[in-house]
């Protein structure tokens, strides 16, 4: 298990559309997922997509009991989601501030669907299907965007709600928002 380097906005690898995962339950897949969790926890992240560490696969992880970067967020179950498909359950969207490990020190208000179904498989190829809302739905949409080469600033509609975390959220420790 290793903490990997997280690619930063501007790196062209973050703009690629990720390839589907075709092999499950392999030692290489288990090692990659372990590295991703180590990397996410080390950076106090809520989630991490494989492209963020330079691996061009449709693989995201997310979940936490509590998170220093999002102190008011409810717990999200620890999940490995591979080859995901998202289906909004309504057209209702909500704007909320997001950050990203690949966009350190910045936050922006992003509209996201409030309810959705996500489907895919876990690292063993076992089917996952959940209907979620709120912060859980936001996290999934944010991470799956990485698989499409989309970073959250690309979704911002009002750039008056985008800026440095230390300015916009002075109560948050800026060292926890890298």
* Residues tagged active-site: 143
| Number of Cα atoms under 13 Å in the Cβ half of residue 100 | 30
Instruction: Give first-to-last CA distance, the chain, whole Å.
Output: 21
- Do 58 and 20 meet the contact criterion of CB atoms below 8 Å apart? yes
Structure tokens at 104: 């350190």
Non-local (6+) Cβ contacts of 31 within 8 A are: 1
Buried b (16+ CB within 10 A) or exposed e, 37-63: bebbeebbbbbbbbbbbebebbbbbbb
Q: Alpha carbon of 72 to those of 33, 75, 97, 130, 135: distances in Å?
A: 27, 10, 12, 23, 10
């Amino acid at each position: 298990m290793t903490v990997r380097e997280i690619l930063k906005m501007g790196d062209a690898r973050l703009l690629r559309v990720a390839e589907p995962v075709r092999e499950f339950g392999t030692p290489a897949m288990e090692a990659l997922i372990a590295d991703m969790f180590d990397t996410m926890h080390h950076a106090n992240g809520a989630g991490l997509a494989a492209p963020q560490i330079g691996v061009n696969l449709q693989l995201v992880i997310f979940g936490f009991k509590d998170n220093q970067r999002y102190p008011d967020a409810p717990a999200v179950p620890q999940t490995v989601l591979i080859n995901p498909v998202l289906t909004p359950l309504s057209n209702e969207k909500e704007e909320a501030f997001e950050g990203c490990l690949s966009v350190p020190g910045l936050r922006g208000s992003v509209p996201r669907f409030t309810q959705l179904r996500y489907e895919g498989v876990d690292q063993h190829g076992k089917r996952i299907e959940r209907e979620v809302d709120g912060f859980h739905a936001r996290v999934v949409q944010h991470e799956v965007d990485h698989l499409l080469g989309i970073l959250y600033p690309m979704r911002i509609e009002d750039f008056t709600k985008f800026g440095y975390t230390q300015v916009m959220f002075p109560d948050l420790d800026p060292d926890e928002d890298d």
